[in-house]
Structure formats: C-alpha cells, structure tokens
Structure 1
Amino acid sequence: MLSRLVLALAAAPIAAPAPAADFMFSAVVDGQTLEGRPLTWTDATMTLLARDGQLHYFAPGRARQAKRTSPTFRGYDTEQMRERLYEEFGSRFDFTSTGHYLVAHPRSERGVWAERFESMYRAFVRYFRVRGFDPVEPPYPLVAVVFGNRSEYQRYVEGSNSGAPTGALGHYEPRSNRVYLYDQSSAGGDDRWDETASTVVHEATHQTAYNVGVHTRFAEGPRWVSEGLATMFEARGVHDSLSYDRGESRINRGRLADYLHDVAPNQPLGTVATFISSDQAFERTPIPAYANAWALTFFLSETRPQQYAEYLALTAQRPLFSEYPPEERVADFRSVFGQDLELLDAQFVRYTQELR
C-alpha cells in the first residue's frame, strides 16, 4: 500500500502535509497506473506530479502495487508523450513536436501549430533572460491540444470540469498542464487568425511561465501577476520583439483602452495595495481587473525590470500548496518595490496617463 511506502520514508506518521520527495514511484490507483513524484501527502491525501506533467490527487489507501522506480524525477520524453497522446486522442489528430512542445492538431495543419507555440516559448525565455531571470528547462514536453472547431473544443470543456469560462476561445489548465484551444480561422477564414494568435499568446504565456520557474503551479499565487504577464505578452512588441522593436509596440492597446475607460477615471479597484492584496477583483469586475493587472505589470516591467524579475522569483518560491493571505501578499510586494506604496501608486497613475 502506498501509505506504507511513503510513511516508511518519514520519521513518523504525519497530519500536516509532508514536503515534496525527490524519488519517483508507480502505483495503480482506481485501475490506472500512475508514475511520478510525490509533491505532498498526508494520511488522507497525496498529490503526485506525474511524468507527463499532470497532477493527480488521491487517497493513499486507494493505491495498489506501489513501488519505488527512480531516486530522481524524470519526465517522459517526446516519443513517450506522443504515444500517450495517441492513446488519448487517436488518429483524428496529428502530433507535431519541436524543441519544447508537443502539439495535437487537426491533420490538415501539418506542423504550423507546433512552431507557433515554440516561437512563443523562445520569445518568453529571451524576454526574461535579458532581464536577469534565468528560466529553467521543463522536465517534459509542453502539450497543447488544438481542436478543429469551436464545437469540438466546447464538448471537451463541458466534459472535463476544466473550469474554463463559457465562451472562452482557449484556456491553460494547470492540473493537466496543457493548453486547449480551437482554430478560430475555421469559422471565418484566414482573417480570424489574429483572434487565434491572441489566444495562443495568452495561454502559452501562462503555460510557459508555470513551467520555467516564473510562476509556480504548486502554491497559490497572485492572479494579477499571472494575468498581468499574459496580457502584457499579447502585445506584438513583447511576444515578437525581433519584428516589432518600437517602444510603442509593447503597449497592449486593447488593455490600455479598458484601463483608461474602466479604471483610471475613478479607480474602482482601489490603490495598488488594495488591488494586490487579493484576487477578488477578478471575480467581481473581470474586465477592469484584467486591465489593471496589465497596466501594473507593464508599469513595473518597463520602469523597474530587475525588481519585477526579483518579485516574480519571490512569488514563484512560495511553499508547496500554501495559501497566500493578503498581509503576506502586500508585505512581499513591499519587500521588493519599497515600503512607500502611496508614492508608487502616484507614479503608476502618472505613468499610465502618459501612455494615451
């Protein structure tokens, strides 16, 4: 039984979550063979990082035939992942790989989708390296699934409990560590590619950030940080700076318009300190929240790039599966950007007004 295996490696039975182990084990859970690294466990629950990057949660007592398989974690290689995707999706998809991605896509699309994701990955890594942040290599290929049309994508969303909002064009799913979207050009020809491209950029930014150490999948993080970064990368001058090197091309005009219309006039989301202290704004007023997240992220990354990278590293190092209460969020922010948030708030407002 799995509980005997893991408890044998601990000093005593545990009630609080144990820290991540370095080893890998395999076990049969409800008829499914799982292999990976235990991230945390109690007598009642285990969280396992599988070799394909997916997270599994189960009670240790449900595991059978548990055995240790390796002293260190090793993700699946591309061919192993391809075999697993084929078992899941079958011959209706093609599977194209690049240096960091494995993409399931409609058979008529050849390898264009994989290169789009790989290009985004390279741009993301380049952006952070020049700012002093050294991204890590993912231990497994990153997976994206591109459905042929909206109805196929919607059927997946409805049957997956993914939490994707109704009407979404695509989403990144932290539990499976995959991006899912559909080819919007199938509904309106090549002129719809810009909409698809924006979705690819946004969701691939989430996925890359969570897999190269900019964010962590394994602890609560500020939503304004993840959404602010993804919306910032939507701008061509950020995700394709080699082709669009003018400073104004780094501005996300759509998010700026939302900010100037919905946020700047009366600051409904409060001060910087109020906004960063919780994720509630994204539930109450999502459009202003996304706009404010973009504006704050753009302000910090443009005016304080080294501090911004330091802050991302700090939030990515949160303890495994820990919560992030408001007072800690504000304290961490102050520890990097300074104690005087009223001054920073004034500088932030003035900066965004000058972007008009």
Structure 2
Amino acid sequence: MVEFQEGQQTRRGIPIMDFSHEMVVLGRDGQLHTLRGNARERVRTLPTPYEPATILEMRSNLQKEFGRDFEVLSTQHFLVVQPRGRGKRWPEMFEQSHRAFVNYMSRRGVKIRRGRFPMVAVVMPDESAMYSELKRMEVNAKRVAGIYALESNRVITHDGGHLRYIGATLRHEAAHQSAYNYNVHSRVVVTPRWVTEGIGQMFEPEAMVSGQSGLKIRERVNLDSLTVIRREFGSDLSSDFSDAIRDLIGSDQMFVNSKTTSKAYAVAWSMMFYMAEREPQAFSKVLAGTNRRGTYQPYDRFARLSDFERWVGTDIDQFASKVGWFLKSL
C-alpha cells in the first residue's frame, strides 16, 4: 500500500500502473487517482498490505463529503447518497438494475466476479445540483440525466426530472457500473466504446430490469435505438449499415463526432443485443476478449477488426447481414 496527497487530504491505495512520470493508484474506496509531477514524487510506500475500506468507513466518509442535507443508505451492493427523506425508491432501483444485469449476463455465459467495493450511487436533489457536483468532480458533461464516472466509480444522477427519462438513463449508467465492478469490463483496459455503450443501451428498456427481464424479446428492444437505425439506414438496412459496423469496430470516432453520435449508440446496441439474444457464445467471447487485454494497452484499428472477426467467427459483412435480418424480425 502507498500513501499520497490529493489536495489537502492524505489518501492510501495500491499502484496499478507506475511509470517515472505518472502513477495510477486504486484507492481504498475504489476510486482511481492519477498522480503526476510533485504528487507522484511524494508518494510514500507503507509496510502494510492493501485492504479495501470497510462499508462503515465508506459510509462515514460519504456522509462527511456530502453533509447533513444528505443521507447514506446501505443495500446489499450499494451505498446510495440521496437528499434526506427520499425513501427507498432510489436504493431499490439501483439494486433491481444490478440484480437484473448479473442475471442476464450469467445466463449468457459471461463470467461474473464480484468487486471488492460497495458501489456508490449519488442522487442530487435536482439537475442544477447534479451539474455542480460533476463540476466539482472535474467531469465535463452536458444535457445528461446522469453519468457513470469511471475514475470515481460512482453513478451520479438527480431527482428533479421526468422519471421515465431519468429511469432509462439510470439503467444505462447502472449497467456501466455493474459491468466495471463485476469484471465484465476492466477499468484499466482500453475497451471499444461500441462494447461498453452497446451494453448500456441494452439495459435502458424497463423490461430489462422488471424482474423477469422481459418475457418476450420485443419487450427487451431499445425502441429509441431501433428508431434511429430505421431512420438512418431505412427499413431494409442499406449497405451503409455494414460500413457503419465496420467503422464502429475499427475506432471510437463515430461516438466523438456529434453528427454521428446517435447513430453510433444505436448501431452499438444492435450489435450487442443481437449477439446477446442470438449468439451468446460470441457475446461472451467479445466481453472476455476485450477484458483480458493489457493495462492501458493501445488498441489500433487493425487489431480491433481482426479480434472481432476472430471472436464472432465470421467477417464483418456477414455479421452485419445477420444483425440486419435480426432487426427486421423485431
């Protein structure tokens, strides 16, 4: 274990990446800290083994961090920070989403390994308060109802908007949190965004976490994503659909370009949803393959494309054709 300074606070954790100019430390509460310059030089090694913080420690620290206007509720898998007096609705929503995620993944052969920390969810009283909290965390986000912050390992949302929209966002971000804490993804591996965001999109429909995961496949469909695909590619899915899949596999650029962002999320959903429902072995191979890559190892276009074709056992045009037929059947 090492000890380091972050602002005015002294923290402890374990190095997971250590270079001469930079060190990434996993804190005792599950947060990732990147130390550079003087902060890197002043790290002190301790003669004690790494131990995660206890639930009582984390709960106490969260209460101090957010103050008397908030309460910290504990569930089996979460510590939920919320304005006082909001009841159990939010903790139950997070628990329900997580249990459904684990059940869905396990049934498709994805190896699940429980994390070492309780997952932290922060519910701010309204949208303005949420953006203030994101600014404090140095997270740049606009026009969102909530996010999962990889470094802090927290979901942040708010309790002041349309419940249907916030609920879909919460399920999306909670799926990210469950995936990163239960070894579906790794927080220190470069994972293609079509994989991570495809899973997030999969869990937006309420039927995915209803307790029965949607009795019919049509109930599990992300209608917003399906609508975007039909708008962008037509009901017969033009050859542009195959090109979009190839571009998405090869790089994250479609997510970065504001003109193609909605298309990127929709196509990512179609790929992951198709594999999860029709080719679960390929689905689990994609997740296992991206998860086991080296820490922060670069991932170029050629490697991404060749890995994908190896995992799914076919070329991209054939894969796109199968996804297309699947979408038409919906």
TM-score norm. by structure 2 comes to 0.92
The 1:66/1:29 distance shift into structure 2, 3 A limit, reads farther
1:160 paired with 2:160, answer no
Q: Distance in 1 between matches of 2:34 and 2:106?
A: 34
Q: Deviations over 1:297-346 (max 9, x none)?
A: 11111110122012101101111111211111111111111242222221
The residue aligned with 1:78 is 55
Q: Does residue 310 of structure 2 align to residue 335 of structure 1? A: yes
Q: Is it true that 1:310 corresponds to 2:285 in the alignment?
A: yes
- Paired with 2:160 and 2:215, the residues of 1 have a C-alpha distance of 28
- In structure 2, runs of 5+ residues without a counterpart are none
**Which residue of structure 1 lines up, in the alignment, with residue 150 of structure 2?**
174
Distance 1:250 1:30, change over 3 A: closer
* CA distance, structure 1, for counterparts of residue 287 and residue 186 of structure 2: 10
Q: Which amino acid aligns with 2:66?
A: F
Greater relative contact order (CA < 8 Å, ≥ 6 in sequence): 2
- CA distance in 2 between counterparts of 1:243 and 1:288 reads 25
Amino acid at match of 1:74: E
The structure 1 segments of at least 4 consecutive aligned residues displaced by more than 4 Å after TM superposition are none
> Deviations 1:205-225 (Å, cap 9, x if unpaired)?
011111111111112111011
Q: Provide, for residues 172-196 of structure 1, a one-character-per-residue CA deviation record: whole Å limited to 9, x for no partner.
A: 11111111110134xxxxxx32122
Mapping for residues 249-264 of structure 1, pairs under 5 Å: 249-264=219-234
Find the residue that maps to 1:180 and give its secondary structure: strand
**Does the 8 A contact of 2:242 with 2:317 survive in 1?**
no
Deviation, 1:133, is 1.8
- Structure 1 residue 68: deviation in Å? 2.1
Query: In structure 2, what is the equivalent of residue 240 of structure 1?
Result: 210
- What residue in structure 1 maps to residue 249 of structure 2? 276
User: For the pair shown, which has the larger CA radius of gyration, 1 or 2?
Assistant: 1
Identical residues among aligned pairs (%): 32
1:129 & 1:307 partners in 2: Cα distance? 14
C-alpha distance 346-268 of structure 1, shift in aligned 2 (>3 A): closer
CA distance in 2, matches of 1:160, 1:269: 39
- Where structure 1 has 5 or more consecutive residues not aligned to the other structure, the ranges are 1-23, 186-191
Mark the CA change 1:254 to 1:316 in structure 2 (over 3 Å): closer, same or farther.
Answer: same
Partner residue in 1 for 2:301: 326
| Distance in 1 (alpha carbons) for counterparts of 2:134 and 2:253 | 24
Per-residue CA shift, 1:75-96, capped at 9, x if unaligned? 2121111111112111110100
Once residues 283 and 175 of structure 1 are traced to their aligned partners in structure 2, the CA distance between those partners, rounded to angstroms, is 20
RMSD: 1.9
- How many residue pairs match? The answer is 324
Q: Output the CA distance in 1 between the equivalents of 2:295 and 2:71.
A: 36
Cα displacement (A) at 1:171: 0.7
In 2, Cα distance between equivalents of 1:184 and 1:69 = 47
Question: Do residues 202 (structure 1) and 172 (structure 2) align?
Answer: yes
- Decide whether the 8 Å contact of 1:263 with 1:288 is kept in 2: no
CA distance in 2, matches of 1:131, 1:268: 26
